[in-house]
Amino acid sequence: MSKGLVAQRWFRQSFFQLLLAMLAIIALGQMLVSHKILPPLAIGSRGLSSFANDVSLGYFSSWIFNILVVVVPAYTKRRRMRAWLASRYRAFKDDLVRVYLGAISETYNSDLIEDLRDPAKFSDYFAGRFAPDQNRWHAVHNGLYEWGLSQIRFHCRLFLSEYDLSIGLLGDLDAKSLARYGYVRAMLSKAEIMEPDYDDVKSLLGMLYPIHCPWSFLDGKIHEDAILENIKSL
């Protein structure tokens, strides 16, 4: 998601809190004037009554309470949920890579799984020769006829349940974030109906490949991971 959309979300969610903060500053100023810590700065400040001082003190105390009890916990929760979902998304992609490698009986270690998190390395690795007439990605396609589809369905289902949980707990999402969430959900849910035949496996891998390597046919460049960017903007 672009920085502009993130800024819009921040402004929309923070406007009310900023307004409360401005009123709190005014209330604090009135309290300081009432106690003669600051000189009168506005017309009528000299005649502030004890009632006005009490109201200012009450409002300022309520604002501090709101920050400590509402704002800070909500921000911490949202940040924690984003970090957790991002880690689960990374684990989801790692699990898919293990399925691909298992489908072609390729031996691997944890270093290879970590290396293939990089889109360019993922593309280069699976574009490498598996046999004289096919690369590794084509070999994955052929291997999934016999093994791996059920594992892919399971991992897609698991990640979607975690995504659903995060969206439900966070709430208060804008229309664009909800639309992107709906797109991801619809896309990964298709794994449930895929069968071990040529067209279904080709469609499934065509859907999963951009998750690992978001390469664009339009400009031939690798772009940001749209799912990860959406998670970061929640």
Alpha helices in the chain (DSSP H): 3-34, 50-66, 72-103, 110-115, 119-127, 136-143, 149-170, 175-189, 198-212, 226-232
**pLDDT confidence bin for 223, thresholds 50/70/90:** confident
**pLDDT confidence bin for 108, thresholds 50/70/90:** confident
**What residues contact residue 180 under an 8 Å CB cut-off, 6+ apart?**
1, 226, 230
- At 147-164, the pLDDT tens digits run 899 999 999 999 999 999
Both tokens of 74, joined, read: 């909500």
Tell whether the model's pLDDT for residue 80 goes beyond 50.
yes
Type of residue found at 226: A
Q: Mean pLDDT across the chain, nearest whole number?
A: 80
Q: How far apart are CA 101 and CA 91, in angstroms?
A: 15
- At 32-47, the pLDDT tens digits run 656 666 555 544 444 4
**pLDDT confidence bin for 5, thresholds 50/70/90:** very low
- What does the pLDDT read at residue 95? 96
First to last CA, the chain: 10
Q: What is the mean pLDDT of residues 83-100?
A: 96
**Burial annotation 153-165 (CB, 10 A radius, 16+ → b, else e):** bebbeebbebbee
Q: How far apart are CA 173 and CA 176, in angstroms?
A: 8
Q: For residue 14, how far is the Cα from the chain centroid? A: 19
**Burial annotation 35-52 (CB, 10 A radius, 16+ → b, else e):** eeeeeeeeeeeeebeeeb
Q: What is the mean pLDDT of residues 174-193?
A: 87
Tell whether the model's pLDDT for residue 93 goes beyond 60.
yes
Among the listed residues 155, 147, 142, the one whose alpha carbon sits nearest the alpha carbon of residue 208: 155
Break the chain into its structural domains and give their ranges: 3-232
